[in-house]
Chain A
Amino acid sequence: MELCIEHLSKRYSNGVQALDDINLTIPAGMFGLLGPNGAGKSTLMRTLATLQDADSGTAHLDTIDIRTHKDDVRRSLGYLPQDFGLYPKVSAYDLLEHFAVLKGIDNNKERKQVVEALLHQTNLYNVKNKHVGGFSGGMRQRFGIAQALIGNPKLIIVDEPTAGLDPEERVRFHNLLSDIGSDKIVILSTHIVEDVADLCNNMAVINQGKVILKGQPLALIEAIQGKIWKRFIEKNDLSQFQQDYRVISSRLTSGRTLIHIYADQQPTDGFLPAHGNLEDVYFSAMAGLFDAPETKIAREHNINARVA
């Protein structure tokens, strides 16, 4: 089981290059797709979910060409879009059952089992007769994943599933995702680094339509050790430091500014070694400093963008 993306490109009619020669090989298991807003994650996800067509390139699920054999892909696909609504006046059970019919489960007994099991699994069983229109964000998201899991799909695509969820719901949702068997390809797109750190055994970072980093989170974290340094500074000095060092992130902690910089050796200026984590990997990659030999990186990127 393998999803193989080659030279996938897409330019919108307004001139935005959403995908720029994407090459990725995604094995079974949880795969994290990380990138800032507008990086092209959703475009890629939609393309893989057969909702959108690319201009060129190919994507194969094993032997199935996603671009030309959409129906075959759909039979093994579960998709949770980034933003969706639900019919206001249908109960959760009825709607899920309807999806089950449309996913081809035509045996009444089996369908009932599947639907009930999924409602249990997503912890929606006790609200199964409520109208989905009244669901909270977390419930809706869980309903979404239940819907995606119908019919035992081999490829599951979840697009920014935890955006807007409260921490408790997020944890619950992570548990749900982690329960999905490791024999399936699960692609999780997110702009939250922790999601990937918590869940994924493979990942890629895309920015401006390009893959700028790919690998296993643990290996990447390993590789960045010894290159990240931290220091508290005054807020006013930030621009000076940005000129002098390769600052990858700055954040306020207890009213003071903590910056992380990327450097092969420890700088003199009172920087301390920091234990590099996935976030540092991500920001370094975004800043074009880390393990992205095949991509050219724009220098001035706003890296103050933060996170959860």
Chain B
Amino acid sequence: MLTIMFFELRQKFRSISTYVYFLMFFALAMLWMAAAGGAFAGATISFGGKTHINAPSSVSQTITFLGYLGIVIVAAMMGRAIQQDTEHNIWHFFYTSPINKFQYLAGRFLGAFFTLLFIFSSVGLGAWLGCYLPGIEPVHLGPIMPLSYILPYLFSLIPNLLIFGALFFTMGALFRRMLPVYVASVVLLIGYLASGPLLHDLDNKTLAALMDPFGSRAISLLTEYWSVADKNTKLVPLSGIYLTNRLIWSAFGFIMILTCFWRFNFAAISSTGRQKKERQAPAITSKRVTTAHTNFSTSGLLRMFIAQTNLNLRETIKNIYFIAIALCGVLFMASTAPVITKMFGTSTYPVTYAVLEVLSGTFSLFMLIITTFYAGELVWRERDARMSQLFDTLPIPNSLPFLSKLLSLILLQGLLLFVLMIFGILFQTIKGYHHYELAEYSYQLFLVQWPDYMLIAVLAMAIQIIINNKYVGYFLMIAYYIAQVSLPGLGFEHPMLVYGDVPRLTYSAINGYGHFLPEIRWTQTYWSGIALILVSASMLFWVRGTTSDWRGRLRLAKLNTSRSITIIAAMGLLCFASAGCALFYFNNILNTYKNTFDKQSEQATYETKYKQFERAPQPRITDVKLNVDIFPNVRRANISGEYVLTNRSSTSIQKIFITEDTDMGINHFIFDRESNADIQDKQLGFYSFTLKQALQSGETLKLHFDLSVDPKTFLGMSKNGTVLFNGTFFNSGLMPHIGYQSHIEITEDKDRRKHGLKEKERMASRDDIKALQNNYISNDADLINFDATVSTSADQMAIAPGKFDREWSKDGRRYFHYTLDKPIWNFYSFQSGKFDVKTAKWNDVDIEIDYQHGHEYNLDRMIKGVQESLDYYTKNFSPYQHKMVRIIEFPRYQSFAQAFPNTIPFSESIGFIAKVDDKDPKDIDYPFYVTAHEVAHQWWAHQVLAGNSQGETVLSETLAQYSALMVMKHHYGEAKMRRFLKFELDRYLMGRGQERKKELPLALNENQQYLHYAKGSLVMYLLQDQIGEDKINQALHEVVMQYAYKGPPYPTSRVLVDAIRKVTPADKQGLIDDLFNSIILFENRALSASAKPLGKGTYEVNVEVAAAKFKADELGAEKEVLLHEWIDIGVDDKDGNSLIRERHYIDRKIMTFKLLVHGEPAKAGIDPDNKYIDRTPDDNLIKVDMNDAKS
């Protein structure tokens, strides 16, 4: 056995590929660390904020993930270790030598295993040495812990090598061919990816973690709620789901090894199956072959071409592996199809673009695999079948076999896309969606995606032909795919750098294909130029005959040179050069090209150059009067307007600074008093003017400005997404802003360091009086008077905040005039589109939804959402300040809804096509919920607005969440809220683990979404549960009364906390600090539960529970604190419905309770509705053991 093993080892270690693999993974690991450590300007790999790159969880991720990438190498090594004897036909010698089956198999297996171990030792080595690379920022490094490198090997990598090694080895041994082995490795890669989308659904996380053969999802699940401190210091233990995963898959590997030993036939290999016998037919007198005419004219060649293509295509489709991979793809599509856009576990209608997006996303992997594999198979088909010498002497031109193979590969892709289309239509049919958009299917699949795949097909073929080594060809293609994915992360973002890189197309029901197509077409032309050159090179270097050395191939290539090849190459060059010039002019000259790093450089320069002016007193905008002319068909807009600027400071102002978006064209800034232009920095968008006559305290000044939106169109291509053909939506961010705008500064510490800037706090501290001079949505205005005239083309309507009091037509354009009878914050938006309109009423308030025709599904839910919200908010908070609520749909290029004064722009992707099943208890009516949230902003933001400091969003987002939760609770009942809050708990716990800087208590949060939305929901829901909804509403009413429309100094989250404190009974005051001013986590769980029947369906339930309370610091380091909570103890029946909830005072870590319930208990425990923040919410309930009284 050892001899065999050492023979295998010697062989592997003599082979250059072993060292190439080693170096490759070593380099990959180093690069990975360097990128994560901030060594590359443009790189974007990160383990999540403050997590060290050499933290145990990071190292574990790195090693497991790179090990995952190496699966193909495991397949190659293991499969070949056993299969090579068959391939090279030397099995006779081994099978007849005096060794037994076990020795032979074990020797081979161990030999390959140790080689793999050597290769993959490079990952850990690279990940370790990578920490010492120059350029790595010290903040990303923690102390080196040797165990954090060793454990992933013990728990993940080595078991994986054994498990997959066993699988591939077995396949190689039993099938004696490599293709099944490679196919298996691909299927495994996919198993990993397939378990990805499942993770989106909370219910499937465990399943996904178990299904992942690599174990890395299990690690993710195990560590998902770990805080930054945990991640940096705790070793990933082999426990819980991770242990289960490892056990399952180890068992799988073990079974594989047994199968191999059992099934492996250590005897002769019959290569053809059975012996062939020819029945001798009587020899026929030889019949003279009639002379046949041959035809080598164009038509004859065409005929040959078709015949050849046909044969190639047929042979491929008949191939079992093709069918297997394609089937795998279909199954994969089927596995991801149910998640076709999901939000809070509710599905949307399977509209064609969504189906296409999800399916072609998942299927693309299979397209690439098949393209890559079959490019090799096709090019090598004759040679692999040892028929090449027959074919090569046929009187056909060189280009014919190549072109026919290329065509059959492309047709194969087309066929697969057709399969995708059929699957999509089938899926829609099953889901009961019968609005088939065949045109959209065909266009996107065959006219947009297919050409992109063709580019890949040409490349894959050309590489196979020119390199003339199948496996090196595969390897290069994989390298190409990796480059395609990773180069942008390393700063190579320019669209003309990576072959086959074509801009993405986003279809919107409102805007169709929008303005994206021309750029896609030009880019495709550009790359097809290269493709044509590759085609001509392939025609030159097509291998015919047995010449394989480069000298000979070059000579043949010279001989092959023909007019047609020259023409193809020239055409390619022409396409490449002309489209290249067009694209370059468009991207770099007409538009200024900036990659991420360049953009950040500009931000950094803005900061270094102009921050000096931040403290200079500036006048405030007090009146805004705008004329916005939108020209949808040319995607232009002219914006002219007038600000009234008032000097509210105590000093006179001589210099006025303006910051203007650099994408906007500026025609003029004119003041109504004489001024000199000083700084006119168009590149950074900073301008300054010196007034001849200073603006005295209390004086006003008018600024007139004239701006334009120019899409910079060139040959149909245009960028700038401000004005769209249909569904334009932009906001006040494009208007001139007075003074230095600190929000332009780079915020991410990592990026700041890269640009030589000092790290900065994300936000001013809560009570910073300077910061409180501004609200958090604009720093150059308080309340303003707003007046806007918006015009658009005759077929569209234009919308701005306010009630439109006049509409008229002039020169074939529609004009709308909007005014507001109350001042608003300096935050407004403009929209234009062809809309259908639905109207309704709530008391005297008009409700209007402007929506895309066909998106009628949820209008009633939204209207009901508006009505019930207005009901609840006016009753509990304060009157509604406007006379209308208007929801306007906009294209799905962005997916949010946003509240402006009385208008709510609402993305088509987050509710308009939602499919809510009222009968499904799991479904959440999110169109209703999102509407309620946005309407609530009319109070929480548009009435009470916080100053620009920590905790600011508590007064807007958290309260809007609370308001929407209450409206939902009244409409759908408490039970339904449980599921919603489960999502919020998940979002919060996930969010804190990925914190980039520091987690703060809710009341001090720094615009952190996982805090102000997710934790906010949990906190407010618990508060109203513990203190009472009416008490909370009373506090909120107080806040509105006192702080609505309050200007500088603006209120902070303190006003909310204080108001709630006032209505809270003394024994629960501690709760306020826990929820708002601390980070508190619980570990509640049920230990045991038993019940005995008392007759008449009554049961006595005894339950023992454990509770623990922890206080965490900014990075998540925890210490246990004393318990003094009122927590529910409850019992559920077998359907999960509540039988009883009793609130008990919990002050000890382990307590027992006795409860009487009506109905058969199934589960009992502590905090059954997950109201408290608990990292393992699932162990709060435990199965009730029934003590049968009768026995």
Chain B 244-286 interface mask (CB, 8 Å, partner A; 1/0): 0000000000000000000000000000100011110101101
Chain A 232-248 interface mask (CB, 8 Å, partner B; 1/0): 00000000000000000
CB of B290 within 8 Å of the partner chain: yes
CB of A37 within 8 Å of the partner chain: no
B276 proximity list for chain A (CB < 8 A): 134-136
B303 proximity list for chain A (CB < 8 A): 101, 106
Give chain B's interface residues, CB within 8 Å of chain A: 272, 276-279, 281, 283-284, 286-296, 299-300, 303-304, 307-308, 311, 315, 318, 385-387, 389-397, 544-547, 549, 551-552, 555-556, 559
A135 proximity list for chain B (CB < 8 A): 276
Chain A 113-154 interface mask (CB, 8 Å, partner B; 1/0): 110011011010111000001111011000010010101100
Question: Distance in Å from the Cβ of B26 to the closest Cβ of chain A?
Answer: 33
Closest to A157 in B: B393
Query: Do the beta carbons of A84 and B555 come within 8 Å of each other?
Result: no
Question: Distance in Å from the Cβ of B507 to the closest Cβ of chain A?
Answer: 42
Known: A51-B545, A51-B546, A53-B556. A102 touches B394 (CB 8 A): yes
Closest to B291 in A: A152
Closest to A42 in B: B546
* Residue among A85, A89, A118, A134 having the largest count of chain B Cβ atoms under 10 Å: A85
Identify 12 residue pairs between A and B in the complex whose beta-carbon atoms are under 8 Å apart, listed by A's number: A70-B559, A85-B386, A105-B293, A106-B295, A106-B300, A114-B290, A114-B292, A117-B289, A126-B281, A134-B272, A135-B276, A151-B395
B394 proximity list for chain A (CB < 8 A): 74, 99, 102-103
A151 proximity list for chain B (CB < 8 A): 292, 294, 395
Query: Do the beta carbons of A51 and B392 come within 8 Å of each other?
Result: yes
B392 proximity list for chain A (CB < 8 A): 50-51
Judged by DSSP, the binding face of B is loop
* Residue among B286, B287, B318 having the largest count of chain A Cβ atoms under 10 Å: B286
Query: Do the beta carbons of B387 and A113 come within 8 Å of each other?
Result: no
A68 proximity list for chain B (CB < 8 A): 559
CB of A256 within 8 Å of the partner chain: no
CB of A197 within 8 Å of the partner chain: no
Closest to B560 in A: A70
Q: How many chain A residues have a CB neighbour from B under 8 Å?
A: 58
Closest to B283 in A: A123
Query: Do the beta carbons of A118 and B390 come within 8 Å of each other?
Result: no
Question: Distance in Å from the Cβ of B544 to the closest Cβ of chain A?
Answer: 7
Question: Distance in Å from the Cβ of B1079 to the closest Cβ of chain A?
Answer: 67
Query: Do the beta carbons of A147 and B311 come within 8 Å of each other?
Result: no
Bound-state CA distance A134–B391 (Å) is 20
* Residue among A50, A51, A77, A99 having the largest count of chain B Cβ atoms under 10 Å: A51
Known: A105-B294, A114-B290, A133-B272. A79 touches B389 (CB 8 A): yes
Known: A46-B545, A52-B546, A88-B385. A110 touches B390 (CB 8 A): no
CB of A163 within 8 Å of the partner chain: no
B286 proximity list for chain A (CB < 8 A): 120-121, 179
Query: Do the beta carbons of A71 and B290 come within 8 Å of each other?
Result: no
Bound-state CA distance A89–B316 (Å) is 11
Known: A68-B559, A121-B287. A50 touches B393 (CB 8 A): yes
Query: Do the beta carbons of B397 and A71 come within 8 Å of each other?
Result: yes
Query: Do the beta carbons of A77 and B283 come within 8 Å of each other?
Result: no
Question: Distance in Å from the Cβ of A237 to the closest Cβ of chain B?
Answer: 36
Bound-state CA distance A89–B272 (Å) is 12
Bound-state CA distance A88–B318 (Å) is 12
B289 proximity list for chain A (CB < 8 A): 114, 117-118, 121, 149, 152
Known: A51-B546, A53-B552, A104-B295. A81 touches B390 (CB 8 A): yes
Query: Do the beta carbons of B295 and A85 come within 8 Å of each other?
Result: no
B293 proximity list for chain A (CB < 8 A): 105, 107, 110
A123 proximity list for chain B (CB < 8 A): 281, 283-284
Closest to A12 in B: B549
Bound-state CA distance A89–B311 (Å) is 12
Bound-state CA distance A172–B395 (Å) is 28
Query: Do the beta carbons of B390 and A79 come within 8 Å of each other?
Result: yes
Among A87, A90, A113, which residue has its beta carbon within 8 angstroms of that of B292? A113
Bound-state CA distance A126–B284 (Å) is 11
Question: Distance in Å from the Cβ of A56 to the closest Cβ of chain B?
Answer: 11
CB of A98 within 8 Å of the partner chain: yes
CB of A199 within 8 Å of the partner chain: no
Query: Do the beta carbons of B547 and A53 come within 8 Å of each other?
Result: yes
Query: Do the beta carbons of B389 and A152 come within 8 Å of each other?
Result: no
Query: Do the beta carbons of A86 and B395 come within 8 Å of each other?
Result: no
CB of A301 within 8 Å of the partner chain: no
Query: Do the beta carbons of A75 and B290 come within 8 Å of each other?
Result: no
B299 proximity list for chain A (CB < 8 A): 106
Question: Distance in Å from the Cβ of A41 to the closest Cβ of chain B?
Answer: 14
Chain A 1-37 interface mask (CB, 8 Å, partner B; 1/0): 0000000000001000000000000000000000000
Closest to B306 in A: A101
Query: Do the beta carbons of B389 and A104 come within 8 Å of each other?
Result: no
A74 proximity list for chain B (CB < 8 A): 393-396
Query: Do the beta carbons of B547 and A52 come within 8 Å of each other?
Result: yes
Bound-state CA distance A144–B397 (Å) is 21
Query: Do the beta carbons of B308 and A51 come within 8 Å of each other?
Result: no
Query: Do the beta carbons of A147 and B389 come within 8 Å of each other?
Result: no
B393 proximity list for chain A (CB < 8 A): 49-51, 74, 77, 79
Bound-state CA distance A119–B606 (Å) is 84
* Residue among A53, A71, A107, A126 having the largest count of chain B Cβ atoms under 10 Å: A53
B386 proximity list for chain A (CB < 8 A): 83-85
Among A114, A133, A136, A147, which residue has its beta carbon within 8 angstroms of that of B390? A147
Among B279, B290, B304, which residue has its beta carbon within 8 angstroms of that of A104? B304
Chain A 62-86 interface mask (CB, 8 Å, partner B; 1/0): 0000001011001101010101111
Question: Distance in Å from the Cβ of A147 to the closest Cβ of chain B?
Answer: 6
Closest to A151 in B: B294
Closest to B279 in A: A126
A149 proximity list for chain B (CB < 8 A): 289
B551 proximity list for chain A (CB < 8 A): 13
A127 proximity list for chain B (CB < 8 A): 278
CB of A111 within 8 Å of the partner chain: yes
Question: Distance in Å from the Cβ of B699 to the closest Cβ of chain A?
Answer: 90
Query: Do the beta carbons of A103 and B278 come within 8 Å of each other?
Result: no
Excluding A70-B559, A127-B278, 6 further A-B contacts by CB distance (< 8 Å) are A51-B544, A68-B559, A99-B394, A110-B290, A123-B281, A136-B276
Bound-state CA distance A138–B386 (Å) is 17
A51 proximity list for chain B (CB < 8 A): 389, 392-393, 544-546
Among B279, B292, B549, which residue has its beta carbon within 8 angstroms of that of A110? B292
* Residue among A77, A105, A179 having the largest count of chain B Cβ atoms under 10 Å: A105
Bound-state CA distance A102–B397 (Å) is 10
Query: Do the beta carbons of B278 and A139 come within 8 Å of each other?
Result: yes
Among B283, B308, B385, B395, which residue has its beta carbon within 8 angstroms of that of A87? B385
Question: Distance in Å from the Cβ of B403 to the closest Cβ of chain A?
Answer: 14
A13 proximity list for chain B (CB < 8 A): 549, 551
Closest to B288 in A: A117
A107 proximity list for chain B (CB < 8 A): 292-293, 295
Closest to B277 in A: A136
Bound-state CA distance A136–B286 (Å) is 21
Query: Do the beta carbons of A101 and B304 come within 8 Å of each other?
Result: yes
Closest to A45 in B: B389
Query: Do the beta carbons of A103 and B387 come within 8 Å of each other?
Result: no
Known: A13-B549, A53-B555, A87-B385. A98 touches B292 (CB 8 A): no
Among B290, B308, B318, which residue has its beta carbon within 8 angstroms of that of A117? B290
Closest to B319 in A: A89
Query: Do the beta carbons of A81 and B389 come within 8 Å of each other?
Result: yes
A75 proximity list for chain B (CB < 8 A): 294, 296, 395
Known: A79-B389, A104-B300. A98 touches B307 (CB 8 A): yes
Question: Distance in Å from the Cβ of B693 to the closest Cβ of chain A?
Answer: 89
Bound-state CA distance A123–B281 (Å) is 7
A99 proximity list for chain B (CB < 8 A): 390, 394
Question: Distance in Å from the Cβ of A130 to the closest Cβ of chain B?
Answer: 9
Bound-state CA distance A202–B544 (Å) is 30
B389 proximity list for chain A (CB < 8 A): 46, 49, 51, 79, 81, 84
